Amino acid sequence: MNLPNKLTIMRIILAIIIMLLLTIPWYSLGFDFPSFTIAGKIIIDLKYIIAGVLFIIAAVTDFFDGRIARSRNLVTDFGKVMDAIADKILVNGLLILLAYNGFISIAIPVIIITRDTFVDAFKMASGSKGKVVAASFLGKAKTMTMMIGMAFTLFYNLPFELIGFNIGYALIIIATFLSLISGVDYYFNTKDTFAAK
Higher per-residue pLDDT: 132 or 184: 184
Q: Which of 58-67, 73-82, 95-104 has the lowest mean pLDDT?
A: 73-82
User: How many other CB atoms sit within 10 Å of the CB of residue 176?
Assistant: 23
- 139: pLDDT strictly greater than 90: no
User: What is the average pLDDT across 57-61?
Assistant: 93
Confidence band for 37, pLDDT divided at 50, 70 and 90: very high
Per-residue pLDDT tens over the stretch 83-118: 888 989 999 999 999 999 999 999 999 999 999 898
In whole angstroms, what is the distance from residue 91 CA to residue 96 CA?
9
Whole-number pLDDT of residue 124 = 77
In whole angstroms, what is the distance from residue 155 CA to residue 147 CA?
12
- 72: pLDDT strictly greater than 90: no
- For the chain, where are the alpha helices, taking DSSP H only? 3-23, 46-71, 77-87, 93-100, 107-128, 137-154, 167-190
Whole-number pLDDT of residue 168 = 97
Q: Which of 41-45, 50-54, 120-124 has the lowest mean pLDDT?
A: 120-124
- 182: pLDDT strictly greater than 70: yes
Per-residue pLDDT tens over the stretch 170-181: 999 999 999 999
150 CB-near residues (< 8 Å, 6+ apart): 55, 91, 94, 95, 98, 168, 172
In whole angstroms, what is the distance from residue 184 CA to residue 175 CA?
14
Whole-number pLDDT of residue 9 = 93
Confidence band for 81, pLDDT divided at 50, 70 and 90: confident
Contact between residue 193 and residue 131 where contact means Cβ atoms under 8 Å apart: yes
pTM to 2 decimal places: 0.88
Angle value at C-alpha 152, between 180 and 7, nearest 5 degrees: 80
- 194: pLDDT strictly greater than 80: no
- 142: pLDDT strictly greater than 70: yes
Contact between residue 192 and residue 129 where contact means Cβ atoms under 8 Å apart: no
Confidence band for 67, pLDDT divided at 50, 70 and 90: confident
Which domains are seen in the chain, by residue range?
3-194 (1.20.120.1760)
